[in-house]
């Protein structure tokens, strides 16, 4: 049997080998209870926390007698209710996510704005020491608050959340990543940590926030809050919850960048592993709601109804020139920018990967070390942001500027800092702003002479370093915006050095630089292209952005994986790629299934069921009919662990091994076997049975999925992987090639497609397996 469960690391004692040593160590007693350390994950979203088992999700429809009876009994009204409620949920997801996105942006604008105004006023009064103390202490307080609530209340909220959402939609169920407390900490912590001037973003947390809202909507009601209506309970399954999580993640990107089409494409290209046309329509409807609500709220802010700092940021960077013209001679500098951007993106991924592993050594020591690490990063960042502008020289204010120079307060391109009247500090104009305003400044048109070469180089290097060191702290932090602002600085820098050979202005080079670094790091093309176009509101950039993204992604792929895949590898998520490695074509499914195989008869003794459930962690069991129920052993279907636990809990037992017949539909309903959300399922340890009950029998036929997916044992492993991933399976039965043997050879689960498991069974493939052609970056000592 091949880890017959979908429970990827929970008490499967039959495998003697440990496949690979994870980054985080467990004690030996726990180690003996694990089948594969490579298939574990941390239940929190940062590196360095205690490991726990994770499960796969049941996306497959369980076609047993109760399910068939339930669907046959549904009339047109109930079907209409089901479809109507899906659209209502999509509308509510779009509405709530847009309100939260706007609230997050407004809160960050005002908190950070107030901090910058107080500091600037002290700088104007020449009270530099006091300004430094206020700046550092306010940033430290905000970071400390975010790290404390994350570490103590919801560690799952740390990080961007995109790797967790991506793994979930691939079929992996990390514990508590969509709980209500995770949602609250994600919202509050993101506001606090982004306002603290750390080089982190809010786009990733917004994706996780949207996914949390979608998952909570798809819980199928709540007994605690007396939401037990039948038209809610039909959503108690992983399939509908998967659709709502996908719509929520698309809405998160749409709210973060006011990019509705980009949000849909981001979910399609990067997040979701499974897609269909109906889901495309619902995701598009959800992001359309986000765009409409944001537009209405932004109009209110432009009328001055959002407080002192409500007009800054507001998601769109509509600042590039409307009459851009470029020619063939402008293409070589753009290609050069894209190639270097792809290399820089790979270096960025490599450094972040190594830094997260280093943070692991600190974080595994306990909560105090996690919080201290976050505080150290905050203090270091504040010192750099306050100290580096002193290096820059003061520049005279341009005479033709459309805004006040020098700028007094938070927003604007011309920060006075320590300069005399009539002068501004170009480096302070970037450092003493939120990331949104820094991007606006860098994307600005007609500002080619505004920034000095040295200032831009310092800003680029600082952002590049700070964004890699800030991500792994115990707080909700995103990567999207830091990569955008770093890429914008890189693009401006390239524009300064090659501007003599092109007609493109420095603001346009900044946009292309952001695209290059995003493509080199995140390896997306279509969705990033649309997001950048929606950010800049300029279709004239389309050919150049397409060119930059294609080149930078291609160059980046030569060196390593995209940043989210690297993070998933660090976390230990057993993610199934969309392609099969060529060495899998050398193996059949029979080469990777292992035993022993736990099989139940169609009418099984209660004691046998209890023994198997208590001694294994399997989540799926073949049901085989034997004489006298059939002339020869025949595979009847597959029954889930959760359904067996429900049967034992109901105690609908038989005194003799006779078929239950039609009485099953009278004693049970489909709702009894609906999957509860957020891991609240019943456990076999909670069921108490007497000795007399253990000697009784259960007819498993009415509750068994009679149409499980099966493959012949001679099918190639590569072909089975494509079927497993594309259909979204948890169990794939392997049947024999010839008759006369047992009717089922084993069960393939996600574990059996993992590279570590395959190489453990077939070590000769270690040296012959195919690897993508990549240049290896030097190791950090």
| Residue 276 DSSP SS3 | coil
Task: Kindly state whether residues 355 and 454 are assigned to the same domain.
Answer: yes
709-716 average pLDDT score: 93
Task: Kindly state whether residues 707 and 757 are assigned to the same domain.
Answer: yes
Decide if 2 contacts 619 (C-beta within 8 A).
Answer: no
The model's pLDDT over 622-672, given as tens digits with 9 standing for 90+, comes to 999 988 877 788 999 999 998 999 889 888 888 888 887 666 666 777 777
The model's pLDDT over 478-494, given as tens digits with 9 standing for 90+, comes to 999 999 999 999 999 99
Q: Give the residue from 571, 597, 613 where a domain finishes.
A: 571
Residues 6+ apart with CB under 8 A from 634: 624, 625, 743
Does some domain include residue 374? Answer: no
Task: Kindly state whether residues 639 and 518 are assigned to the same domain.
Answer: no
Does some domain include residue 531? Answer: yes
Residue 761 token pair: 């069974």
pLDDT of residue 725 exceeding 60: yes
Q: Give the residue from 537, 571, 605 where a domain finishes.
A: 571
Q: Can you tell me which residue has the tokens 């180690």?
A: 31
- Is residue 431 within a helix (H) or strand (E), and if so which, with residue range? helix 426-431
Q: How far apart are CA 588 and CA 459, in angstroms?
A: 54
Lowest mean pLDDT among 7-16, 94-103, 152-161: 7-16
The arrangement of strands across the sheet holding 732-735 comes to: 710-712, 732-735, 746-748
Q: How far apart are CA 356 and CA 46, in angstroms?
A: 8
Task: Kindly state whether residues 518 and 612 are assigned to the same domain.
Answer: no
DSSP for 144-185 reads HHHHHHHHHT-GGG-S-SHHHHHHHHHTEE-TTTT-HHHHHH
CATH of the domain at 174: 1.10.3080.10
The model's pLDDT over 209-256, given as tens digits with 9 standing for 90+, comes to 999 999 998 886 555 555 666 667 778 888 889 999 999 999 999 999
Q: How far apart are CA 450 and CA 526, in angstroms?
A: 32
The model's pLDDT over 522-540, given as tens digits with 9 standing for 90+, comes to 999 999 999 998 888 778 8
What pLDDT, on a 0 to 100 scale, did the predictor assign at position 504? 84
Lowest mean pLDDT among 19-33, 267-281, 289-303: 19-33
Decide if 725 contacts 566 (C-beta within 8 A).
Answer: no
Q: Give the residue from 517, 544, 571 where a domain finishes.
A: 571
Residues 6+ apart with CB under 8 A from 717: 580, 584, 585, 587, 588, 589, 591, 592, 753, 758
CA-nearest of 355, 337, 280 to 47 is 355
The model's pLDDT over 316-356, given as tens digits with 9 standing for 90+, comes to 554 555 566 777 888 899 999 999 999 999 999 999 999 99
CA 216 to chain centre: 16
What pLDDT, on a 0 to 100 scale, did the predictor assign at position 113? 84
pLDDT of residue 191 exceeding 80: yes
Task: Kindly state whether residues 350 and 220 are assigned to the same domain.
Answer: no
Task: Kindly state whether residues 596 and 472 are assigned to the same domain.
Answer: no
The arrangement of strands across the sheet holding 600-601 comes to: 600-601, 620-625, 634-640
Residues 6+ apart with CB under 8 A from 168: 57, 174, 177, 178, 211, 242, 245
Does some domain include residue 142? Answer: yes
Does some domain include residue 467? Answer: yes
Decide if 108 contacts 191 (C-beta within 8 A).
Answer: yes
The model's pLDDT over 694-710, given as tens digits with 9 standing for 90+, comes to 999 999 988 899 999 99
What pLDDT, on a 0 to 100 scale, did the predictor assign at position 125? 83
Q: How far apart are CA 58 and CA 627, in angstroms?
A: 31
Residue 304 token pair: 């001055």
In the predicted model, what is the mean pLDDT of the chain? 83
Decide if 293 contacts 94 (C-beta within 8 A).
Answer: yes
CA distance between the termini of the chain = 42
Task: Kindly state whether residues 209 and 152 are assigned to the same domain.
Answer: yes
Does some domain include residue 199? Answer: yes
**For helices 76-124 and 203-217, angle between their N-to-C axes, nearest 10 degrees:** 150
CATH of the domain at 739: 3.10.580.10
Task: Kindly state whether residues 200 and 273 are assigned to the same domain.
Answer: yes
Residue 693 token pair: 């009950």
For strands 732-735 and 710-712, give the pairing.
parallel
- Res. 30 pLDDT band, cuts 50 70 90: very low
Does some domain include residue 24? Answer: no
- Is residue 511 within a helix (H) or strand (E), and if so which, with residue range? helix 506-522
Decide if 374 contacts 196 (C-beta within 8 A).
Answer: no
Task: Kindly state whether residues 136 and 205 are assigned to the same domain.
Answer: yes
Decide if 255 contacts 62 (C-beta within 8 A).
Answer: no
CA 372 to chain centre: 26
Task: Kindly state whether residues 139 and 177 are assigned to the same domain.
Answer: yes
Backbone angles phi, psi at 4, to 5 degrees: -85, 60
Decide if 472 contacts 356 (C-beta within 8 A).
Answer: yes
Looking at residue 311, the DSSP 8-state letter turns out to be T
Q: How far apart are CA 571 and CA 356, in angstroms?
A: 10
| Residue 41: strand pairing partners | 52
**Region of residue 329 (phi > 0: left; psi between -120 and 50: alpha; otherwise: beta):** alpha
Decide if 596 contacts 6 (C-beta within 8 A).
Answer: no
Decide if 467 contacts 477 (C-beta within 8 A).
Answer: no
**For helices 180-195 and 128-152, angle between their N-to-C axes, nearest 10 degrees:** 170
pLDDT of residue 313 exceeding 50: no
Does some domain include residue 641? Answer: yes
Task: Kindly state whether residues 93 and 133 are assigned to the same domain.
Answer: yes
Residue 28 token pair: 């030996």
Look up the domain containing 453 and give its range: 328-364+396-571
Q: Can you tell me which residue has the tokens 């929606």?
A: 534
Does some domain include residue 10? Answer: no
- Res. 468 pLDDT band, cuts 50 70 90: very high
Looking at residue 776, the DSSP 8-state letter turns out to be P
Number of C-beta neighbours around residue 408 at 10 A: 13
The number of domains in the chain is 3
Task: Kindly state whether residues 498 and 359 are assigned to the same domain.
Answer: yes
pLDDT of residue 450 exceeding 80: yes
- Res. 51 pLDDT band, cuts 50 70 90: very low
- Res. 411 pLDDT band, cuts 50 70 90: low
Looking at residue 269, the DSSP 8-state letter turns out to be I
| Residue 767 DSSP SS3 | helix
């Amino acid at each position: 049997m091949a880890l017959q469960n979908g429970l990827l690391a929970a008490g499967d004692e039959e495998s003697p080998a440990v496949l690979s040593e994870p980054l985080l160590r467990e004690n030996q007693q726990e180690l003996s209870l694990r089948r594969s350390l490579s298939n574990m994950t941390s239940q929190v979203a940062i590196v360095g926390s205690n490991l726990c088992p994770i499960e796969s999700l049941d996306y497959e429809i369980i076609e047993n007698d109760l399910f068939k009876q339930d669907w046959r009994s549904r009339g047109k009204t109930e079907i209409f209710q089901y479809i109507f409620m899906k659209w209502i949920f999509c509308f509510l997801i779009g509405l709530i996510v847009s309100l939260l996105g706007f609230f997050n942006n407004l809160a960050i604008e005002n908190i950070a704005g107030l901090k910058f105004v107080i500091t600037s006023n002290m700088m104007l009064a020449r009270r530099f020491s006091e300004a430094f103390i206020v700046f550092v202490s306010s940033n430290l307080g905000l970071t400390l608050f975010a790290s404390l609530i994350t570490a103590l209340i919801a560690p799952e909220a740390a990080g961007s959340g995109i790797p967790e959402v991506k793994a979930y939609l691939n079929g992996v169920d990390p514990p508590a990543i969509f709980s209500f407390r995770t949602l609250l900490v994600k919202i509050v912590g993101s506001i606090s940590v982004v306002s603290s001037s750390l080089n982190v973003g809010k786009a990733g947390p917004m994706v996780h926030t949207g996914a949390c809202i979608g998952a909570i909507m798809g819980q199928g009601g709540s007994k605690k809050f007396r939401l037990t209506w039948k038209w809610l309970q039909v959503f108690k399954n992983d399939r509908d919850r998967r659709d709502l999580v996908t719509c929520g993640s698309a809405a998160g990107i749409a709210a973060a960048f006011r990019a509705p089409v980009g949000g849909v494409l981001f979910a399609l290209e990067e997040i979701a592993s499974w897609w269909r046309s109906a889901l495309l329509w619902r995701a598009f409807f959800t992001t359309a709601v986000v765009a409409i609500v944001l537009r209405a709220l932004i109009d209110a802010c432009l009328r001055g109804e959002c407080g002192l700092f409500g007009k800054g940021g507001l998601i769109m960077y509509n600042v590039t020139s409307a009459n851009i013209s470029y020619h063939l001679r402008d293409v070589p500098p753009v290609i050069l920018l894209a190639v270097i951007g792809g290399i820089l993106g790979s270096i960025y991924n490599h450094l972040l990967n190594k830094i997260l592993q280093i943070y692991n050594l600190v974080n595994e020591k306990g909560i105090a070390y996690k919080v201290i690490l976050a505080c150290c990063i905050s203090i270091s960042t504040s010192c750099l942001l306050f100290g580096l502008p002193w290096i820059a020289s003061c520049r005279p204010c341009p005479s033709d500027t459309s805004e006040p120079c020098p700028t007094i307060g938070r927003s604007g391109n011309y920060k006075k800092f320590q300069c005399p009247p009539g002068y501004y500090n170009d480096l302070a104009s970037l450092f003493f702003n939120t990331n949104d305003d820094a991007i606006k400044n860098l994307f600005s048109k007609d500002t080619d002479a505004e920034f000095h070469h040295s200032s831009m180089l310092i800003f680029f290097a600082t952002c590049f370093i700070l964004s890699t060191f800030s991500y792994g702290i115990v707080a909700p932090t995103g990567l999207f915006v830091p990569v955008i602002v770093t890429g914008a600085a890189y693009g401006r820098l390239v524009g300064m050095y090659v501007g003599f050979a092109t007609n493109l202005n420095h603001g346009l080079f900044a946009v292309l630089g952001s695209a290059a670094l995003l493509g080199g790091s995140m390896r997306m093309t279509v969705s990033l292209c649309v997001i950048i176009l929606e950010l800049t509101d300029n279709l004239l950039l389309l050919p150049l952005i397409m060119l930059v993204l294609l080149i930078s992604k291609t160059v980046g792929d030569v060196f390593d994986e995209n940043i989210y895949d690297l993070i998933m590898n660090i976390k230990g998520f057993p993610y199934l790629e969309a392609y099969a490695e060529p060495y899998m074509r050398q193996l059949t499914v029979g080469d990777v299934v292992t035993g022993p195989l736990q099989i139940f008869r169609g009418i099984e003794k209660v004691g046998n069921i209890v023994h198997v459930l208590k001694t294994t962690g399997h989540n799926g069991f073949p049901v085989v009919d034997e004489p006298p129920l059939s002339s020869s052993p025949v595979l009847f279907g597959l029954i889930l662990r959760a359904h067996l636990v429900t049967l034992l809990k109901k105690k609908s037992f038989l005194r003799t091994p006779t078929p239950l017949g039609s009485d099953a539909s009278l004693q049970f309903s489909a709702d009894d076997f609906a999957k509860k959300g957020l891991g609240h399922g019943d456990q076999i340890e909670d069921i108490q049975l007497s000795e007399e009950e253990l000697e009784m029998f259960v007819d498993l036929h009415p509750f068994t999925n009679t149409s499980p997916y099966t493959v012949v044992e001679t099918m190639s492993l590569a072909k089975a992987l494509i079927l497993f991933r594309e259909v979204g399976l948890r169990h794939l039965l392997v049947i024999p090639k010839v008759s006369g043997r047992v009717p089922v050879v084993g069960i393939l689960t996600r574990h059996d497609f993992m590279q570590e498991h395959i190489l453990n069974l077939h070590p000769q493939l270690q040296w012959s397996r195919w690897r993508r052609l990549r240049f290896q970056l030097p190791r950090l000592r």
